[in-house]
Structure 1
Amino acid sequence: MVSVDDDHRRGRQSIDLDSPPPPSSSSRTGNEVRSELSPLAVPNRPQNNSLVMLILSCTVAAGVQFGWALQLSLLTPYIQTLGIGHAFSSFIWLCGPITGLVVQPCVGIWSDKCTSKYGRRRPFIFAGSIMISFAVILIGFSADIGYVLGDTREHCSTFKGTQLRAAVVFIIGFWLLDLANNTVQGPARALLADLSGPEQRNAANAVFATWMAVGNILGFSSGASGNWHRWFPYLTNRACCEACGNLKAAFLVAVMD
């Protein structure tokens, strides 16, 4: 005799055999799998932007390199006209690698965490651009500022001594310019990565490198020209002669770029 419990057990087995098997993870659709994942598990990939947008976003690279090229071609000869020796003037350039070592990583971290309504990179690029403009004015008008602060009253064409106050203003502006350039350069590269999609990275890097080359060409060409004081004669005065006029005009043009 078959007990009632055996009948119930056979009924459950038949029901289990007739029911469809549970869906496996391999048979589920991609939408079902993604719906079960946390939102943090699927990162947001940058959308593709037009080539015009990438070209315009890379123009900041040309401006930065234009300033770097002017620094290399004009600033070391000019600091020597203020009476600073060649050996000491080389130490001034230490600010560039030092600020690059410290400023770019810090600015990169801060910009990644930035929650401004203007974006993560634009506030730092804007702040760096303001600093560049201020530093360029300090450098270009260092001789004039030194003259006002009490440097020699002798005409710049005949005075051969050291203009200490002008040199101090120049060095402050020089270091501030290095700081500002490094503040702009890191977020500018990060902005390019934010705007370009995965399949646009190669083209975006090529455009960025092209703008850097354009900035270098224009900067070194501007620094090699010794006619700035003739094109802008009103920039020279008793404290600022030809070398100072060339520097002042070239950097003012760089600010307007």
Structure 2
Amino acid sequence: MNKKYVPYIIGLPNLGVGLLWAMNMSVIPLFISKLNVSNAQQGRLISMGAFTGIFVQYLVGLLSDRSNFKMGKRKPYMIMGSILSALFLTLLPYSKGYSTAFILAFLFYFFLNFYQGPYYSLIPEAVDENQIGLANGFARVVSVVGSAIIFMLGPKLWDINFKYPFYLGAVLGLLTVIITVFLVSEDTSKYEKPNRISFDFIKFPSVIKLYLSVFMVYMSFGFITPFFVKYCTTNLNISNTDANNALLILTLAGAVFAVPIGKLADKIEKRKVLLLGVVLFALSLALGTFITSKVALFVMMSVIGIGFIAIQITTYSILAEIVPPERLGEFMGMMNLFISLPQFLANNIMGYMLDTFGYRVYFPTAAIAMIIAGIIVLTSRFNKYVSKGISNSI
């Protein structure tokens, strides 16, 4: 394939990734609500996505870094994970009780993380260095498209048959991976195979700072995601459709700004773009408590969409430049620990807080976590990795 098309083709699987994680905010909570469970139980099940992400992506990153299959070191894991995640997602709506739903959801999340980690490692390996921001930016665009598909079609398909959104997610998640695996070539010849497993990311100060900022961003995100639709319907008297429209607006705002932000991150210090995203997100959350109308909610979600897409693009782009290239899969997987662990904690903490204190703590708690993330980014520098020292900030 012509190299100029690779930054775009490599983004296709993120449509499925975006769609499947968007189900975590809309369709899956709706299905779990059908089982008549508490907020704490709903948060516990949804948090399995984050819980499996704590260890799965890291372990698969270690394995893929040290693999040497004929088709490449990332693709086999992408194929296996996408097939099995599609299978368990298809089975999930057939659950008759909470325990069965919990097991099937756990397996779905496990294999979604199983292929997501190698996929994100493949992006910077498949494109030229000066196109990493563009590739990540376009990947976020198609992720937003995937989210938009489920936010627009999910409620409509749900009204026809509540199983249909699950079928849609399974088909698109699998199809986009298969297309990319056959169209994009892996070039791993320039990387040496790591000799040993080493839990030594603490030796990289820039990596630690990035991981800590990511931890607080996703702590904030985890406080919000499983309960947003329920918050809108019970506290703002907004319909399920309008709550999903608010999530759609968030994703569309991200889609509009993803490629420009990706290109901007290729041209200026990426830390500044990351800081901008965190500030926009934090300010929106801080004002969320005072929102009482649908229009104000939509405006808030637009700003959050811009901020969140800036965070997503820059964190992956920064990490690709501050770690040893031959260990990229390992460090990508480790970063997902700092993405998943805070969401696991936040989902469960917020479920308990809502049952105990009510929704008045909903936005303020999330805002405080995002402000802490901003402070970390503001006081940090992310230095580019070179084999014999440290070079300029990025």
TM-score by length of 1: 0.62
Distance in 1 separating the partners of 2:14 and 2:53: 16
**Shift in Å, 1:172:** 1.1
**Shift in Å, 1:175:** 1.0
Distance in 1 separating the partners of 2:137 and 2:157: 34
Q: Which has the higher helix share?
A: 2
Q: Is 2:87 aligned against 1:134?
A: yes
- Code of the residue aligned with 1:169 in structure 2: it is T
Distance in 2 separating the partners of 1:77 and 1:199: 42
Q: Is 2:109 aligned against 1:178?
A: yes
Task: State the secondary structure of the residue aligned to 1:202.
Answer: helix
> Any residues of structure 2 matched to 1:99-118 within 5 Å, and which?
99-118=52-71
Q: Which moved more, 1:125-134 or 1:77-86?
A: 77-86
* 1:252 match: 167
Residue 147 (structure 2) aligned to one of 213, 216, 222: 216
Task: State the secondary structure of the residue aligned to 1:79.
Answer: helix
For residues 219 and 51 of structure 1, do their structure 2 counterparts lie closer, same or farther at Cα, with a shift above 3 Å needed? farther
**Shift in Å, 1:51:** 2.9
Check conservation: 2:27, 2:165, Cα contact below 8 A: no
* 1:55 match: 8
Residue 124 (structure 2) aligned to one of 193, 203, 210: 193
- Code of the residue aligned with 2:146 in structure 1: it is G
What do residues 209-247 of structure 1 show as CA deviations (whole Å, max 9, x unaligned)? 211221122122233x234453xxxxxxxxxxxxxx22x
Distance in 1 separating the partners of 2:33 and 2:158: 19
Task: State the secondary structure of the residue aligned to 2:156.
Answer: coil
> Any residues of structure 2 matched to 1:29-178 within 5 Å, and which?
50-142=3-95, 146=96, 166-178=97-109
Distance in 2 separating the partners of 1:218 and 1:227: 11
Check conservation: 1:70, 1:222, Cα contact below 8 A: no
- Provide the aligned C-alpha RMSD in A: 1.9
**Shift in Å, 1:112:** 0.6
Structure 1: 4+ residue segments shifted above 4 A = none
Larger radius of gyration: 1
For residues 213 and 51 of structure 1, do their structure 2 counterparts lie closer, same or farther at Cα, with a shift above 3 Å needed? farther
Check conservation: 2:82, 2:111, Cα contact below 8 A: yes
For residues 94 and 256 of structure 1, do their structure 2 counterparts lie closer, same or farther at Cα, with a shift above 3 Å needed? closer
Aligned length: 172
For residues 125 and 105 of structure 1, do their structure 2 counterparts lie closer, same or farther at Cα, with a shift above 3 Å needed? same
What do residues 54-73 of structure 1 show as CA deviations (whole Å, max 9, x unaligned)? 32221111101101111210
Task: State the secondary structure of the residue aligned to 1:84.
Answer: coil
Of all paired residues, the percent bearing the same amino acid is: 26
Distance in 2 separating the partners of 1:49 and 1:124: 25
Q: Is 2:203 aligned against 1:203?
A: no
Check conservation: 2:48, 2:109, Cα contact below 8 A: yes
- Bigger relative contact order, structure 1 or 2, given CA contacts below 8 A and separation 6+? 1
Gaps of 5+ in 1: 1-47, 147-165, 231-244
Distance in 1 separating the partners of 2:3 and 2:71: 20
* 2:156 match: 226
Task: State the secondary structure of the residue aligned to 1:83.
Answer: coil
What do residues 130-150 of structure 1 show as CA deviations (whole Å, max 9, x unaligned)? 1211211221222xxx4xxxx
Check conservation: 2:157, 2:164, Cα contact below 8 A: no
